[in-house]
Amino acid sequence: MPDGTTDGAQALRLARAGQSGEGTEHRSLALLVGEAAARITRLSPSEAFAACAADGTLIDIRSQDARELEGVIPGSLHIPRTVLEWRVAVDSPWRNRHLGGLDQRLILVCDHGYSSILAASNLVKLGFGRAGDVIGGFESWRAAGLPIARLRHRPALAGALPGTGPPE
């Protein structure tokens, strides 16, 4: 570009100005979440527990602080929301090695069951047709009396990326 800016910087400027070059469509948050929920399988905590006992993999997308304060779900993988797509996508060089292929049933759990809807919808878009979430999140899991454990502090591996560790 003549002024020395990169394409990315130009795109960011246009986005901030409310222009995308392709037309910007305004959607309410409720509509966005509703559309995402329609793409995924939503499970009650007891249904999610049974699915994980059968063939599902529970992925905890909560913050490390929440996990330290509230506890963890035994057997779950911790992949923070901020890096979820990079740790799950089959073509990502930063993928968590403890995950299977596109046919794997992935069940996300967040704090209250809202951010997991949008996150699971992105996993469906990445090809994980069996992605879903826990309705009501960790809060509902705990209220249902399902297993919770204290977070075990494991020694960090040198150079290990967040969200690449083994199940709890």
Interacting residues of 50 by C-beta distance below 8 A, sequence separation 6+: none
- pTM, full prediction: 0.81
Question: Which residue range forms the structural domain that includes residue 116?
Answer: 40-143
Confirm whether 26 is domain-assigned: no
Structural domain total, the chain: 1
CATH assignment of the domain containing 122 = 3.40.250.10
- Residue of 42, 43, 40, 80 whose CA lies nearest to 60: 80
Residue with tokens 């063939």: 55
**Is 47 part of any domain?**
yes
Considering the domain boundaries, does residue 159 fall inside one?
no
Establish if 107 belongs to a structural domain. yes
Domain assignment present for residue 155? The answer is no
pLDDT digits (tens, 9 = 90+) for 53-64: 999 999 999 999
Q: Which amino acid is at 129?
A: G
Other beta carbons within 10 Å of 159: 6
Beta-bridge mates of residue 107: 58, 132
- Structural domain includes residue 116: yes
pLDDT digits (tens, 9 = 90+) for 35-47: 999 999 999 999 9
Average pLDDT of the residues in 124-139: 98
Average pLDDT for 12-29: 64
Round to the nearest angstrom and report the end-to-end CA distance of the chain: 49
- Report the percent of the chain where pLDDT is more than 70: 82
